[in-house]
Amino acid sequence: MDQTPVPKSVAFDVTLDGESGDGLLRVKKRPPRLQALEPLNMPTLTSEQLAEKQRLADAKRERLKQKKIKASQKSSRRRQELLKAREFGMKQQLEQEKTTIEDSLKQAEIKREQRLIEIKEKQRIREERAKRARERAKQIQNPDDEVEVEKDEEFNAVSDDSWLDQGSAPGANKNQEGGLQGDLDEEDQIQKKVRQVRPTVSASTVDSFDGAFSRSGPRTHGIESGVYKDDLKDDDDFFGS
C-alpha cells in the first residue's frame, strides 16, 4: 500500500521596508530602552536675581503696553479731530440757519409794521373823505343853513354896521351913504359865508369866484353912479323908521 508523501517546508522572503534581502526576514534593530535622565546641573537663582528678572519682564511688558497705548491714542486723536471738525461744521451751519431765520423774522416784522402803517393811513384818508362827503351832502341838502363864522376883528374894526352886532342900535337913522355901506357889508358877509362853505379849490378858481361876487349888479352900479339916488330918497324908509 502506497503512503501519501509528506509535503516539505517552504520558505518565503518578505520585505517590510521595501528593501530586498537575502535569506530570512531582516528586522531592524530596535531602539534602545529609555534610560533615567540625570538632573541637569542648572545654576540656582537667588532672590535678588529673581527680583531683577521679574523687574525686566515687567519693564518689557510695560514698554509693549505703552506702545499699544500710543498707537491707539494716535488713531483716537485722529478720530477725535475728525469728530471735532464735524461738530464745528454742524455748529457753524446751525448758527447760519439761526441767523437766516432771525433776519427773515425781522424783515417780516418790518414789513408787517409798514403794512399796518399803510392800512392806518388809508383808513384815515378814507374816513376823511367820507367825512367831507357827508359834510358836502349835508350842505347840498340844507343850502339855507347859516354857517358860523368867526368875527374878523380887523375887517369889522371900523364898520359901524357889523353883521355880528345885529342888536346894536336897530332904530338908528341912516342916510343914503349908510344904506349903501350896509348893502356892501351884507355882500361881504355873503362872500365870507361862501368862502367858509365851499371846499378848497385852486387859486384861479378862487379869483374867478371872488370876482363874480365882487362885481356890482346893475342897481348897485346905478347907486354908485348916482342914477338911483332919488329913488333911494323915496324908498329907503326902513332905516328912517
Distance CA 81, CA 96 (A): 22
Rounded Cα distance, 24 and 84, in Å: 88
Per residue in 71-103, pLDDT tens?
887 777 788 888 889 889 999 999 999 999 999
96 within some domain: no
* 163 within domain boundaries: no
Kindly report which listed range (11-20, 201-210, 215-224) carries the lowest average pLDDT score. 215-224
Mean pLDDT along residues 116-137? 93
Domain count for the chain: 1
Is 131 a member of any domain? no
Residue type at 214 in one-letter notation: S
pLDDT score of 81: 85
- pLDDT higher than 80, residue 60: yes
> Could you tell me if residue 8 is inside a domain?
no
pLDDT on residue 108: 94
Residue 45 lies in a domain: no
Residue 11 reports pLDDT greater than 70: yes
Q: Are 185 and 161 in contact (CB under 8 A)?
A: yes
Could you list the residue range(s) of the whole structural domain that residue 194 is in? 175-241
Q: Domain for residue 21, yes or no?
A: no
Q: Is residue 3 part of a domain?
A: no
Using 50, 70 and 90 to split pLDDT, how confident is the model at 140?
confident
- Res 229: pLDDT: 45
* CA–CA separation, 181 and 165 (whole Å): 15
What distance in Å separates the CA atoms of residue 186 and residue 192, rounded to the nearest whole number? 10
Distances (CA, A) of 43 to 46, 128, 152: 10, 124, 143
The set of long-range contacts for 148-154, using a CB threshold of 8 Å and a minimum separation of 24, is 149/192, 149/193, 149/196, 152/192
What pLDDT is recorded for position 105?
94
Q: Could you tell me if residue 97 is inside a domain? A: no
pTM of this structure: 0.27
